[in-house]
Copies of this chain bind each other. A is one copy, B any other.
């Protein structure tokens, strides 16, 4: 998930989050130094992978926290930073699972260690395996860091317990979503639209939207109905966001989205868009192109035309809008104060604009 259009939210406090992350990386590097100098590279590699992100999950924590009246920015920044480290952990491990060595056009953790190994004369398969091994370890460190940051955020005992519970649920949801995703990729049959929506909710929306919003609300001392409403908001806007992301993955302009619009088709990524298209007669003529590692631009254009002609693009855009509307509804809940509605409304608008 990319989020360059959601950077309108809660930006003012982000420097504090980066300070917390810097602090965590410095402590981790100092600890690593005690274990030998080579090992510091893992921390540096994690740090590079965390740098320059849009801090989308921290924004959700801070938006909920501050709009609900929270004033202890130090505590909130630590919880916010925990969700950024969780994100780092999950994408590093997701890249291992997807055998990806590149993220956003640059080598990821696996990629940089693969490259170090090939430079040292290690043959490619071994070098790739080394990259993935280091990434398994690096992801573990980031995951441990997320727990540590929540643990030491400085919240009172009861709040801390609830924050850890929310974090735990988010980790489990992401694991369940990853499991479902791996499962889909092994079967010839296309999963249903509902199965894909559920997978995307678990794998990404939960830890990216629901959990950080609820963590910010709990930290601000919000009431249960408010926390619940933010959960419903987060779930629905998160699903909407993922559906739009999948549509852009196929129909987005590369110059605007910054990523190839052939990649998802070439790797056979199972999305709402494709699940719907696969139920239509137009799919029969292009079925063989989908997931073909040798797919070229012409083939991709034929696939895109068939998907559009089948009505799947429109279906996916309407489905995203439907989830965005449910997110609006959750914001309209009486338990959500106007300040929070104002803070989060741009998120919905940003997602809806992406559907156009």
A contacts, CB < 8 Å to B: 28, 31-32, 35-36, 38-39, 42, 89, 93, 96-97, 99, 117, 120, 122, 126-127, 129-130, 132-134, 136-141, 143-144, 147-148, 151-152, 157, 160-161, 164, 167-169, 171-173, 175-180, 182-183, 186, 198, 202
Contact = CB atoms under 8 A, between A and B. Distances in A.
Contacts of A147: 144, 147-148, 151
Contact of A36 (B28, B129, B176): B176
Contacts of A140: 89, 93, 139-140, 143, 171, 175
Contacts of A137: 93, 97, 175, 178-179
A75 to B, nearest CB: 15
A176 to B, nearest CB: 4
A171 B151 contact: no
Contacts of A171: 140-141, 144
Contacts of A126: 186
Main SS class of interface, A: helix
B136 A173 contact: no
A141 B175 contact: yes
A130 B180 contact: no
Contacts of A164: 148, 151-152
B175 A31 contact: no
Contact of A39 (B31, B148, B180): B180
Contacts of A169: 31
Contacts of A97: 132-133, 136-137
Contact of A182 (B133, B143, B151, B152): B133
B168 A161 contact: no
A179 B143 contact: no
Contact of A161 (B31, B122, B152, B179): B152
Contacts of A138: 175
Nearest to A167: B144
Contact of A179 (B134, B148, B151, B172): B134
